[in-house]
Amino acid sequence: MNLLDMVREAGIVGAGGAGFPTHAKLASKAEYILLNGAECEPLLRVDQQLMELFADEIINGFTAAGKFVGANKAIIGIKGKHKKVISILRDRIEALQVADFVQVKEIPDIYPAGDEQVLVHELTGRVVPEAGIPIQVGCVVLNSETALNIYYASIQKPVTQKYITVAGDVPRSLTVKVPVGTPIIDVLKLSGIENFDNYKVIDGGPMMGPVMNSLDGYVTKKNKGFVILKKDHYLIRKKSVSLEQAKRVNKSACAQCRMCTDLCPRYLLGHEMQPHKIMRALNYKLTDIENQKIAQLCCQCNLCELFSCPAGLHPKSANLYFKDKLAQQNIRYKPNKSEFTARKSREYRLIPSKRLIARLGLNNFDKPAPMTEIELKPELVYISTNQHVGVPAVPIVSVGDHVEIGQQIGKIPEGSLGASVHASISGKVVEIENDFIGIRRG
Ligand code: SF4
Ligand code: SF4
């Protein structure tokens, strides 16, 4: 079995949150392989700790993936502020004798440094074309937890566990490894909060993560963190505004000051994304489809909505409105050129994470979330067959079957994009329904 087959068998998906099947990424040939260790979402602390605790495994997984795609260079991108981790990585790269291939490059502490396109630019100077992906400029990007999982795949260990940070307005911020399929509420309670009546939870980072409507879900391979805040926190109120409400507010007050555009990371990379134009189209009911199409260039980093707009408006939501409308009509933005260069003003307009954290009202909660040895042992896990980009995995077990931890229980349908799923505990299959496989420990 080659590495790609091992990665496919192990059910690895991008651990950065998007859930793109990793074997599909490794199927391309690339000049660069890049490790995304930016972890730019405030309060999340998974990647920086994994790179410190599992430096050898991550470097080995990353190197193997880089060799597999035929890369000339492998670059680990990590914020310069993580001095200890950088020093460990550099030492281990030397010790593992891969320094002629792998290097560590420090990136600035800005948001969104972990956006794939921003990372590609920071590490290679190249700009991914509008509506494009990194491979178009010869790059494959992997998250650090994904590289760790690639290493495990190479020793026949599939993905059955997930590292998660629990942070926010909580007695105890922490990072923990839990079985995929664990009830989310069990993970949240590790924060020291038992009753969530006065709290809301953001699934993921404070910038891009949505506020959860219910805490009844189960951990998937895509989860990276949960941020718990009081219901009346600014961020919760702002993120809870519906698209309809956002549309109404947007119509009333946009001064066309352009701040949203001037600070937009995609605009600064030389793309046409200009949220103030989308606001104009919304407010004046402009029908020019060409102008509306630029909404499809938005990566939903939320900077315009949560930081840039002085009037507290919702330009990202305006983008979402047009994105949705155009998708219904099957209209796609087509770039009118293939090469892009970052705008000259970019270097003066990068947003330091510290300023962002202050603006979000998260200063008090910006603290370490140390990796713990806590072992959650859920009696029942519900493993989603649909926790990745592509089509759901097809169950290959039946109710009543006994399964062992690590056993494949769902596979990728023939000829489709997807990821297989594995039992995260040993026990009996008790339910197969609604894209979930339930396993009771025992
Ligand atoms: S949405 Fe806000 S930042 Fe953008 S142009 Fe309007 S007022 Fe200015
Ligand atoms: S969310 Fe706003 S700032 Fe981010 S890419 Fe979209 S338009 Fe630009």
Task: Summarize pLDDT for 173-186 with one digit per residue, the tens.
Answer: 999 999 999 999 99
Q: Assess whether 69 and 200 both reside in one domain.
A: no
Q: How many CA atoms lie within 13 A of 327 on its CB side?
A: 9
- Identify whether 35 is part of a domain: yes
- Atom 8 (ligand 2): residue with closest C-alpha? 264
The answer to whether 3 and 22 are in contact (CB under 8 A) is: no
The answer to whether 148 and 398 are in contact (CB under 8 A) is: no
- What's the domain range around 89? 3-154
Burial of 423: CB neighbours in 10 Å, binned 0-12, 13-18, 19+: buried
Burial of 137: CB neighbours in 10 Å, binned 0-12, 13-18, 19+: buried
Q: Which amino acid is at 139?
A: C
* Ligand 1 closest atom vs CA 250: 1
Task: Tell me what pLDDT residue 283 has.
Answer: 81
Q: Assess whether 368 and 387 both reside in one domain.
A: no
* Ligand 2 pocket residue status of 266, Cβ below 6 Å: yes
130 Cα–ligand 1 center, Å: 22
Q: What is the CATH number of the domain that holds 422?
A: 2.40.50
* Ligand 2 pocket residue status of 150, Cβ below 6 Å: no
- Identify whether 89 is part of a domain: yes
Residue 17 has pLDDT above 90, yes or no: no
- Identify whether 333 is part of a domain: yes
Q: Assess whether 291 and 254 both reside in one domain.
A: yes
Residue 286 has pLDDT above 80, yes or no: no
Interhelix angle 46-53/55-68, rounded to 10 degrees, is: 100
- Proximal ligand: closest to the CA of 117: 2
- Identify whether 207 is part of a domain: yes
- Residue at which a domain ends, from 108, 132, 154: 154
Q: Assess whether 219 and 253 both reside in one domain.
A: no
**Of 164, 144, 128, which Cα lies nearest the Cα of 45?**
164
- Identify whether 102 is part of a domain: yes
**Distance separating alpha carbons of residues 281 and 294, to the nearest angstrom:** 11
Ligand 2, residues 117, 239, 301, 351: which to mutate, most atoms within 8 A of Cβ? 301
> Which 8-state DSSP code applies to residue 364?
G
Q: Assess whether 129 and 147 both reside in one domain.
A: yes
Task: Tell me what pLDDT residue 71 has.
Answer: 98
Q: Give the chain's largest Cα–Cα span.
A: 63
Residue 133 gets the label, from left (phi > 0), alpha (psi -120 to 50) or beta, of beta
Q: Assess whether 92 and 139 both reside in one domain.
A: yes
- Atom 4 (ligand 2): residue with closest C-alpha? 301
**Distance separating alpha carbons of residues 158 and 143, to the nearest angstrom:** 17
- Atom 8 (ligand 1): residue with closest C-alpha? 257
Q: Which amino acid is at 213?
A: N
Tokens of 396: 């290959």
Q: Assess whether 323 and 219 both reside in one domain.
A: no
Ligand 2, residues 264, 306, 346: which to mutate, most atoms within 8 A of Cβ? 264
Q: What is the CATH number of the domain that holds 263?
A: 1.10.1060
**Distance separating alpha carbons of residues 431 and 295, to the nearest angstrom:** 41
Hey, how many other C-beta atoms are within 10 angstroms of the C-beta on 328?
Answer: 8
Q: Assess whether 138 and 229 both reside in one domain.
A: no
Average pLDDT over residues 129-158: 97
261 Cα–ligand 1 center, Å: 8
**Distance separating alpha carbons of residues 10 and 407, to the nearest angstrom:** 10
The answer to whether 207 and 42 are in contact (CB under 8 A) is: yes
Residue 424 has pLDDT above 80, yes or no: yes
- Proximal ligand: closest to the CA of 305: 2
- Residue at which a domain ends, from 154, 178, 201: 154
- Residue at which a domain ends, from 340, 375, 410: 375
* Ligand 2 pocket residue status of 304, Cβ below 6 Å: yes
Question: What sections of 55-197 are H helices per DSSP?
Answer: 55-68, 83-95, 116-124, 144-154, 184-189
**Distance separating alpha carbons of residues 351 and 120, to the nearest angstrom:** 17
- Identify whether 356 is part of a domain: no
- Identify whether 18 is part of a domain: yes
Task: Summarize pLDDT for 307-333 with one digit per residue, the tens.
Answer: 999 999 999 999 999 999 999 999 999
Q: Assess whether 342 and 409 both reside in one domain.
A: no
The answer to whether 115 and 93 are in contact (CB under 8 A) is: no
Residue 15 pLDDT class (50, 70, 90 cuts): confident
Question: pLDDT above 90 covers what percent of the chain?
Answer: 90
- Identify whether 399 is part of a domain: yes
Ligand 1, residues 279, 322, 349: which to mutate, most atoms within 8 A of Cβ? 279
Q: Assess whether 119 and 38 both reside in one domain.
A: yes
* Ligand 1 closest atom vs CA 304: 3
Structural domains of the chain, count = 4
> Which 8-state DSSP code applies to residue 295?
G
| Lining residues, ligand 1, CB within 6 Å | 254-260, 275-276, 279, 308-309, 311, 313, 315
Task: Summarize pLDDT for 240-253 with one digit per residue, the tens.
Answer: 998 888 888 877 78
User: CA angle at residue 176 from 46 to 240, to 5 degrees?
Assistant: 70
Task: Summarize pLDDT for 162-172 with one digit per residue, the tens.
Answer: 999 999 999 99
Q: Assess whether 335 and 262 both reside in one domain.
A: yes
Residue 381 pLDDT class (50, 70, 90 cuts): very high
266 Cα–ligand 2 center, Å: 7
346 Cα–ligand 1 center, Å: 19
Average pLDDT of the residues of the chain: 95
Task: Tell me what pLDDT residue 287 has.
Answer: 76
Ligand 2, residues 40, 273, 307, 309: which to mutate, most atoms within 8 A of Cβ? 273
325 Cα–ligand 1 center, Å: 21
Q: Assess whether 95 and 213 both reside in one domain.
A: no
Residue 129 pLDDT class (50, 70, 90 cuts): very high
Residue 434 gets the label, from left (phi > 0), alpha (psi -120 to 50) or beta, of left
